[in-house]
């Protein structure tokens, strides 16, 4: 301990400025800030800094100091969003790293060289933080955690590690052996970070797959309703067409106005709202329904859909792709003045090509990262795009999205033999 000299106090303050900065880096990498207002965060970290510096000046590296540090870290973590188990685990691991690095420095550097001891302690902690921050949680996983049992098992590891560090710090073991054991225990805790990252990544993927399944079921139900509705409309049109033909025959020689009126009814019965007919009832119903909605909501809707009749589509996944893309495109185009949608679908040599352009806003030019669009849902884009990408990859296809002068361009290629 440096004592009460001005020099010693200055060293303590400088060391804990660095420790506070390292703590912020770890928390920002694994938790999501609840409020980015700088007027809030500055006093929060300043409070932790003063608490930890005062505790170290009073207790040095000891159990009371680490308990004070843990209390301060938990207080700071409360201002982040996320599960409390995860906040507790991150706090315990940081305190464990802090203790381990301090114990290792105490065993490597002689007790009388206190300044060098603090420098080594801080360098060790810096190295640990740099390693940890190379494996941060994905952004969508910072507010979630594993289930309680898994988190409690992870919490046990830093608790046992902390106990081992204090044993090595105050025990009678050889200094070199104690420093080596500290390094091994620190490495174990770093490996646990990698383990947690892998588990969380798998958890997020499983959750996305579950959402995809639920969306697929929802689209299936929606398609069944659309198909039933359009089947009834087709039947009604067919019957009405026969009735109009009969009336036209009866109206021969009558007033010209009646003949013209019946002719206009006959023209209406040709069903101009049917934009495509492939013979696949599910695909036809979905495309006609979505494009009909687009023509109601948008100013410019251009379609060029050339598909063979009775096209064999065994997979419902293709309908999920088309449904998601059209939903996003219509939602994005509705927020612009241009309100433009162009859709082209064609098949060549067993390969299906989908090309779509829609007006959009607030999206920078260049290639768009699907996951980033899904996270931010920019200008209406992002809903279900991760699922679209997953389906495209499932059938060994290719998908590209890019923005050009406030126009979102989507290119998809799918191998029909896989569908």
pLDDT at 87: 87
Q: Which residue has the tokens 């399944």?
A: 213
Given 211, 230, 260, the domain boundary residue is 211
Can you tell me the distance from the alpha carbon of 294 to that of 341, in angstroms, rounded to the nearest whole number? 8
Given 194, 211, 228, the domain boundary residue is 211
Which structure tokens are listed for 114? 């206190």
Judged against a pLDDT cut of 50, whether residue 348 lies above it is answered with yes
**More reliable by pLDDT, 26 or 193:** 26
* 184, 188, 189, 192 alpha-carbon torsion, rounded to 10°: 170
Angle between helix 148-170 and 84-108 (nearest 10):
20
CATH number of the domain encompassing residue 407: 3.30.565.10
pLDDT interval class at 376 (50, 70, 90):
very low
Looking at the fold, whether 202 and 282 belong to one and the same domain comes out as: no
274-297: burial string, b at 16+ Cβ within 10 Å, e else = bbbbbebebbbbbbbbbbeebeee
Secondary structure of residue 401 in the 3-state scheme: strand
Given 211, 236, 260, the domain boundary residue is 211
Give every CB contact of residue 210 below 8 A, 6+ residues apart in sequence: none
Looking at the fold, whether 203 and 333 belong to one and the same domain comes out as: no
Looking at the fold, whether 404 and 317 belong to one and the same domain comes out as: yes
339: left (phi over 0), alpha (psi -120 to 50) or beta: left
Looking at the fold, whether 74 and 162 belong to one and the same domain comes out as: yes
What is the average per-residue pLDDT within 349-367? Answer: 88
Q: Give residue 62's domain range.
A: 6-211
Judged against a pLDDT cut of 50, whether residue 361 lies above it is answered with yes
Looking at the fold, whether 24 and 169 belong to one and the same domain comes out as: yes
Looking at the fold, whether 161 and 310 belong to one and the same domain comes out as: no
* 120 within some domain: yes
* 35 within some domain: yes
* 225 within some domain: no
Can you tell me the distance from the alpha carbon of 197 to that of 218, in angstroms, rounded to the nearest whole number? 31
Q: Which residue has the tokens 């510096």?
A: 53
Q: Check if the beta carbon of residue 381 is closer than 8 Å to that of residue 332.
A: yes
Our count of domains for the chain comes to 2
What is the average per-residue pLDDT within 57-79? Answer: 85
Can you tell me the distance from the alpha carbon of 236 to that of 13, in angstroms, rounded to the nearest whole number? 83
DSSP string, 279-311: S-HHHHHHHHHHHHHHHHH-SEEEEEEE--TT-
Count of C-beta atoms within a 10 Å radius of residue 396: 10
What is the residue-averaged pLDDT of the chain?
Answer: 77
* 234 within some domain: no
Can you tell me the distance from the alpha carbon of 67 to that of 64, in angstroms, rounded to the nearest whole number? 5
* 251 within some domain: no
* 189 within some domain: yes
Looking at the fold, whether 178 and 286 belong to one and the same domain comes out as: no
Looking at the fold, whether 279 and 387 belong to one and the same domain comes out as: yes
Looking at the fold, whether 319 and 413 belong to one and the same domain comes out as: yes
Which structure tokens are listed for 118? 């603090």
Asked which of 161-175, 179-193, 318-332, 361-375 is least confident by mean pLDDT, the reply is 361-375
Angle between helix 317-333 and 175-250 (nearest 10):
80
pLDDT at 232: 61
pLDDT in tens, 265-320: 665 555 555 666 666 666 777 777 788 888 888 989 998 888 776 666 555 677 77
**More reliable by pLDDT, 374 or 57:** 57
Can you tell me the distance from the alpha carbon of 272 to that of 14, in angstroms, rounded to the nearest whole number? 76
Which structure tokens are listed for 72? 């301060």
pLDDT at 175: 79
Can you tell me the distance from the alpha carbon of 128 to that of 269, in angstroms, rounded to the nearest whole number? 73
pLDDT interval class at 2 (50, 70, 90):
very low
pLDDT at 270: 55
Nearest to 73 by CA among 121, 114, 25: 25
Q: Check if the beta carbon of residue 350 is closer than 8 Å to that of residue 417.
A: yes
pLDDT in tens, 219-232: 665 566 666 666 66
Nearest to 102 by CA among 216, 179, 10, 187: 179
Looking at the fold, whether 99 and 20 belong to one and the same domain comes out as: yes
> What is the reported pTM?
0.51
């Amino acid at each position: 301990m440096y004592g009460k000299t001005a020099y010693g106090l200055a060293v303590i303050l400088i060391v804990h400025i660095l420790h506070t900065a390292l703590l912020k880096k770890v928390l920002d990498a694994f938790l999501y800030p609840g409020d980015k207002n700088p007027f809030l965060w500055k006093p929060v970290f300043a409070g932790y800094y003063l608490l930890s510096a005062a505790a170290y000046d009073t207790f040095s590296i000891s159990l009371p100091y680490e308990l004070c540090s843990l209390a301060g870290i938990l207080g700071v973590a409360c201002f982040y969003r996320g599960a409390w188990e995860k906040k507790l685990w991150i706090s315990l691991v940081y305190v464990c790293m802090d203790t381990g690095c301090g114990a290792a420095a105490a065993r490597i550097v002689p007790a009388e060289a206190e300044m060098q001891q603090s420098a080594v302690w801080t360098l060790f902690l810096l190295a640990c933080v740099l390693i940890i921050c190379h494996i941060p949680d994905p952004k969508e996983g910072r507010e979630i955690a594993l289930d309680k049992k898994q988190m409690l098992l992870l919490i046990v590891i830093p608790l046992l590690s902390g106990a081992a560090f204090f044993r090595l710090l105050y025990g009678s073991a050889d200094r070199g052996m104690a420093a080596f054991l500290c390094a091994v225990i620190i490495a174990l805790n770093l490996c646990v970070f990698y383990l947690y990252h892998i588990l969380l990544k798998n958890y997020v993927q499983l959750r996305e797959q579950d959402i995809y399944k639920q969306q697929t079921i929802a689209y299936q139900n929606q398609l069944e309703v659309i198909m039933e509705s359009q089947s009834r409309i087709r039947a009604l049109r067919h019957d009405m067409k026969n009735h109009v033909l009969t009336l036209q025959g009866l109206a021969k020689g009558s007033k010209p106005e009646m003949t013209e009126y019946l002719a206009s009814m006959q023209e209406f019965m040709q069903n101009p709202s049917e934009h495509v007919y492939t013979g696949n009832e599910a695909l036809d119903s979905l495309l006609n329904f979505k494009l009909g909605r687009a023509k109601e909501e948008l100013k410019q809707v251009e379609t060029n859909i050339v598909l063979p009749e009775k096209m064999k589509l065994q997979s419902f996944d293709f309908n999920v792709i088309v449904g998601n893309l059209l939903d996003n495109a219509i939602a994005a185009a509705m927020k612009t003045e241009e309100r433009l949608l162009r859709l082209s679908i064609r098949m060549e040599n067993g390969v299906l090509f989908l090309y779509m352009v829609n007006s959009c806003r607030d999206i920078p030019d260049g290639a768009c990262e699907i996951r980033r669009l899904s996270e931010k849902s920019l200008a209406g884009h992002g809903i279900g795009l991760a699922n679209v990408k997953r389906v495209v990859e499932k059938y060994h296809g290719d998908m590209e999205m890019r923005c050009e002068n406030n126009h979102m361009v989507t290119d998809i290629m799918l191998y029909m033999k896989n569908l």
